[in-house]
């Protein structure tokens, strides 16, 4: 039994190790290893990803609750579009310096969704090497936005992942360009969802860009990414979140790059349209 499993893969691995001609990584069909995921250890309070129940619970009960209910007065619609089970990739527009939009979307799902599902935030990989910040982001449920990580969460663990495919471009834009979505810098995130055959839920958020306008970026140390500078206390802008109809990726079949690019472009346009609709619909930045 074990022999047949591995004899087919053996040739492939040797070739890969040699480094000869090889297919692009994303196209290599892998063995389905979902049955072999590690079991739950009820005594642990930190997950394998490094998320700490204790730290996250504490921040959730104090800071997030306050921001969600009183500071940003979040209003969300269409939360029923988030699937109740199985993996799904939530794709969200992003803006401002250290923007709180991702956290508020995750909080909205925890507050309003009937299943109160936990959301993993895909954070920029560069943050991992920033002392304190990287550690804190990991502890509150952030996962480095590596396609392998996203795939494991979506496909193997059937979790919700919130991603900002605009990447660093989103947090770089000045205030006057707010609510104009940048090109999806990282199409591998969408590609991961297609490969995992999970639905993609586009999310439009309004408010974050006024809450944390970007003043500039400074370089703290040469080896670290430039840190965005915004107001120390986010301004109390009114947040509106709209969850859009999930886009099924089941019928897409093979994951070739042009297809993923077209799909990303469609999703970007859809979010852009809804963001503009939300912006047009509000009377005041602060009161909604």
Partner 1 sequence: MDSRRILITGLSSPIAGRLAQMLEREPAVQAIIGIDTHDPRHELEHTEFVRTDTRHGLLARIVRAASIDTVIDTRLLADPLSVSPRDAREINVLGTRGLLEACSGPDSSVRKLIFKSSSRWYGHEPDAPAFCDEEMPRLHRPRSAIEHQVVEAENLLASFAARNPRSAVTVLRAAAAIGAEADNAHAALLTLPIVPSVLGFDPRWQFIHEDDLVAALAHLARHRLAGTYNAAADGVLALSEIVSLLGKSLLPVLPPWGAGFAASQLRRLGLRVPVELVRELRFGQGVDNRRLKASGFRYRYTTREAVLQLRAHQRLRPLLRSGAEPYHYEPTVEEFLRWSPSVHRPPATDGNAHDASSPVPSYGDLSEEEVIAVAASLDAHGLEQLRRYEAAHLSRAAVLTALDRRLGRER
Q: Of 204, 173, 182, nearest to 276 (Cα)?
A: 204
Q: Which of 95, 100, 102, 134 binds partner 1 (CB under 8 A)?
A: 134
Q: How far apart are CA 243 and CA 270, in angstroms?
A: 11
Only one residue has tokens 């707010």, namely 178
User: What phi-psi label fits residue 243: left (phi over 0), alpha (psi between -120 and 50 degrees) or beta?
Assistant: beta
Is the separation of the CB atoms in 275 and 204 below 8 Å? yes
Neighbours of 203 (CB within 10 A): 27
Q: Which is nearer to partner 1, 188 or 274 (CB)?
A: 188
DSSP state of 27: G
String of DSSP letters for 72-120: S--EEE-GGGS-SSS-EEEEE---SSS-SHHHHHHHHHHHHSTT---EE
Site for partner 1 in 182-221 (CB under 8 A): 221
Only one residue has tokens 């480094």, namely 19
Report, in Å, the least distance between residue 20 CB and partner 1: 8
Is the separation of the CB atoms in 107 and 60 below 8 Å? yes
**How many chain residues touch partner 1 (CB under 8 A)?**
52
Q: Which of 57, 62, 66, 148 binds partner 1 (CB under 8 A)?
A: 148
Only one residue has tokens 């799902």, namely 109
Q: Which of 73, 75, 78, 128 binds partner 1 (CB under 8 A)?
A: 128
Q: x/- binding map, residues 67-106, to partner 1, per CB under 8 A?
A: ----------------------------------------
Is the separation of the CB atoms in 202 and 87 below 8 Å? no
Q: x/- binding map, residues 150-169, to partner 1, per CB under 8 A?
A: --x-----------------
Q: How far apart are CA 89 and CA 91, in angstroms?
A: 6
3-state secondary structure of 277: helix
Q: Which of 114, 131, 250, 284 binds partner 1 (CB under 8 A)?
A: 131
Q: Which of 26, 49, 56, 270 binds partner 1 (CB under 8 A)?
A: 49
Contact segment (CB under 8 A) with partner 1 among 41-49, 68-76, 175-183, 184-192 equals: 41-49
Q: Which of 24, 25, 250, 251 binds partner 1 (CB under 8 A)?
A: 25
283 near partner 1, judged by CB under 8 A: no
120 near partner 1, judged by CB under 8 A: no
226 near partner 1, judged by CB under 8 A: no
Contact segment (CB under 8 A) with partner 1 among 122-130, 206-214, 235-243, 247-255 equals: 122-130
Q: Which is nearer to partner 1, 14 or 175 (CB)?
A: 14
31 near partner 1, judged by CB under 8 A: yes
Q: How far apart are CA 256 and CA 155, in angstroms?
A: 18
21 near partner 1, judged by CB under 8 A: no
Q: Are strands 142-144 and 75-77 parallel, antiparallel or unpaired?
A: unpaired
Q: Which of 52, 188, 249, 274 binds partner 1 (CB under 8 A)?
A: 52
Q: Of 212, 241, 245, nearest to 75 (Cα)?
A: 241
Which residues lie near partner 1 (CB under 8 A)? Answer: 1-3, 5-7, 9-14, 16-19, 25, 28, 30-31, 33, 35-39, 41, 43-46, 48-50, 52, 125-126, 128-129, 131-132, 134-135, 138-139, 143-144, 146, 148-149, 152, 221
């Amino acid at each position: 039994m074990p022999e047949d499993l591995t004899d087919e893969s053996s040739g492939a691995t040797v070739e890969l190790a040699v480094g000869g001609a090889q297919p692009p990584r994303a196209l290599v069909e892998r063995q389905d290893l979902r049955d072999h995921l590690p079991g739950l250890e009820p005594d642990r309070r930190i997950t394998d990803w490094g998320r700490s129940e204790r730290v996250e619970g504490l921040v959730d009960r104090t800071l997030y609750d306050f921001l969600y209910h009183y500071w940003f007065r979040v209003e969300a619609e269409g939360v029923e579009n988030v699937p109740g089970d199985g993996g799904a990739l939530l794709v969200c527009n992003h803006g401002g310096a250290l923007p709180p939009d991702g956290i508020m979307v995750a909080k909205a799902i925890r507050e309003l969704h009937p299943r109160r599902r936990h959301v993993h935030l895909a954070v920029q990989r560069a943050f991992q090497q920033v002392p304190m910040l990287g550690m804190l982001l990991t502890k509150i449920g952030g996962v480095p936005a590596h396609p392998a990580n996203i795939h494991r969460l979506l496909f193997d663990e059937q979790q919700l992942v919130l991603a900002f495919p605009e990447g660093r471009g989103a947090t770089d834009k000045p205030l006057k360009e707010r609510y104009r979505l940048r090109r999806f810098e990282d199409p591998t995130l969408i590609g991961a969802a297609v490969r995992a055959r999970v639905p993609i839920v586009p999310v439009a958020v309004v408010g974050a860009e006024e809450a944390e306008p970007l003043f500039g970026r400074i370089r703290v140390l040469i080896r670290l990414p430039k840190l965005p500078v915004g107001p120390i206390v986010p301004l109390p802008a009114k947040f509106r979140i709209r969850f859009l109809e999930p886009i099924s990726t089941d019928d897409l079949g093979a994951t070739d790059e042009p297809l993923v690019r077209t799909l990303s472009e469609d999703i970007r346009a859809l979010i852009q349209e809804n963001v503009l609709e939300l912006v047009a619909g509000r009377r005041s930045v602060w009161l909604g």
